[in-house]
Structure 1
Amino acid sequence: MRRPRRDRGPVLCDGLHRRHALPRGRPARRTRPATHPRGRRVAGRNARRAARRVSGERRARRLRPPRSFLERQLRRWGKQLDASRSRDLPGIDDLHDRLASAMPASPAPTIVHGDYRLDNVLVDEQDRITAVLDWEMSTLGDPLTDLALIVAYSSRDLPTFAGVSNAHEAPGFPGTDEIVARYAKGSGRDVSALPWYAGFAFFKLAVILEGIHYRYSQGQTVGDDFDRIGDAVPLLISAGLAHLDRA
C-alpha cells in the first residue's frame, strides 16, 4: 500500500495551524517587523498564491459552479446594504448601478476564498506562506474577485479602520500595479477588467462596514473604534467609483 504523498504546499485551515505549534516550554518569539525587503517578498508571494488558486481551474470546472456568479454576488451585497440602511450615503446607489450595468464576463471558475488578504495567511521564518485561514466565505466562482480584494486591501485609498492590517503602509510594500502584474504572470489570466472588480471589492467593503456601523448605532455592537468605523464608508464608496472611472 502506497503512502499518501505529502502536500508541500500551504495548508488550508480555519483555526489552529498545528504544523507550526510551539513545543512545550519554548517561549513564543516576537513577530519580526515588516522591513523593506520582507514586506515586498511576502506581498509578492501572497499575489502568486492567489494566482495558483487551490485545486485549479479544471477541478473546479468539474464541480459545475452556478452561473452568473458576479450577478449573484452583486445582488447579495445589495440586499446586505438594504438591510443596513440608516443614513444617506451619497454615491452608494450609483456605485451599485454602475457595477450592475457593466458586469464583465468571468474567466474559468476556481475556488474563491472570499476574504483573501495578508491578514488571513501565515508565514514561516523564511517568509513562505504556510497556511491560508478563514474559509467561511469560500465558494466556487470568479478568481478575479480575490485579486480585487488584494488590490483593495493594498490600496492607498483604503482608510485605516479597526480589525484590518495596515501592512500596505510598510516601507517597500509593492504597489497595486506590481501586485496585479505578478498575479497575471502567475495565473495567465486576463486582468484588463480589474477596475470593475476593484470597484466591486470597495462596494463590498463599504457594505460590510456600513453593516457594522448600523449595528453599533443600534447598540448591538460594542468595542474600540466602532464609533468611527462609519466614517470610512464614504471613502470606500469614492474609491469604488474612482476605480470604475478607470475602466
Structure 2
Amino acid sequence: MEYQNILTEVKNHIFYLTINRPQKLNALNRSVLEEIATAIQASTENADVKAILITGAGEKAFVAGADISEFQNYNVEEGRQLAKIGQESVFNAIENCTKPVLAAINGFALGGGLELAMACHIRIASNNAKLGLPEVTLGLIPGYGGTQRLAQLIGKGKAMEMIFTADMLTADEAEKTGLVNHVTEPGQLIAKAEEILAKIILRAPLALSSAIKAINASGQSQINGFEVEINEFANCFNTNDFKEGVNAFLEKRKPAFKGN
C-alpha cells in the first residue's frame, strides 16, 4: 500500500512507522489512523518483522493531538463511533500486537498522541518532549483509552491530576512517574530505541508474544491475569524455541530462535 501520511521501512527486523505530517505537528486525523491501522496489521503479518518502532517526523512533535477540525461538529453517536473505531482499529491493536511496539517520543505527545504512545509497550522520550492530555480544555475527555492506560501506568491519583489540570509533563517528570522508560538527547532518541529493540529481537518471538498477552491481562479486571500467565507459560513448552533456548543454555551458546 502507498501511504500518504506515514513513512514505513523494515530494517534489521524492525518495522519503522513514522507519522509524517510535520506541518500539522503530526496530528491524527481519520486518514492517519486508517494508515496506522493498516501498517500495524501488515507488520504483524510480516514474518521478517520482530519489533515495531513508532515515531513522528521532525523534532517538534511525536503527535501533537487529534485534528480537532475534523470532529468539531460531531453529535453524540458520531463521537461514540470516533472513539470506538479508533480504539479498536489502532490503539487496542497496538497494545495487543503480538510483537513488541516501542514509541520514540520526539517533542509534543498530546491528547491522541500521548494515547498512541501509551498504547505502545515501551516508551522513550527526548529531553525536549512534553506529554499531556489536554482534552478537558476543549470540553472533552481522552477518548482513545487515555483515562484507562494513564491510570495503569502512573496511578489513579496522578492520572486524575494530570487529566483534570490538563498540565503537561516534561520528559524527566514523565520518567519519574513511570510514563516513559528512558529519556535521551534528541539526537540519540532513535539510537536508544534501536539499542533496546536490538536486545528484544534476540529473544524468543513466541515467548515475547505470550509475555505481552499475560502482562496486558493484568490491567483487565474481567480477566484472571494469573490464569492467563499459567496458560501462556504452558504454551511455551510446545514450541521449538523453548527446546532451542534450553539446549543453548545447557550447551553454553547463544540461542537461535526461529519463532516456531
TM-score range, shorter chain: under 0.3
Instruction: Name the structure with the higher strand share.
Output: 2
Using CA pairs under 8 Å that are at least 6 residues apart, name the structure with larger relative contact order, 1 or 2. 1
* TM-score for the superposition, normalised by structure 2: 0.27
TM-score, length-normalised on structure 1? 0.28
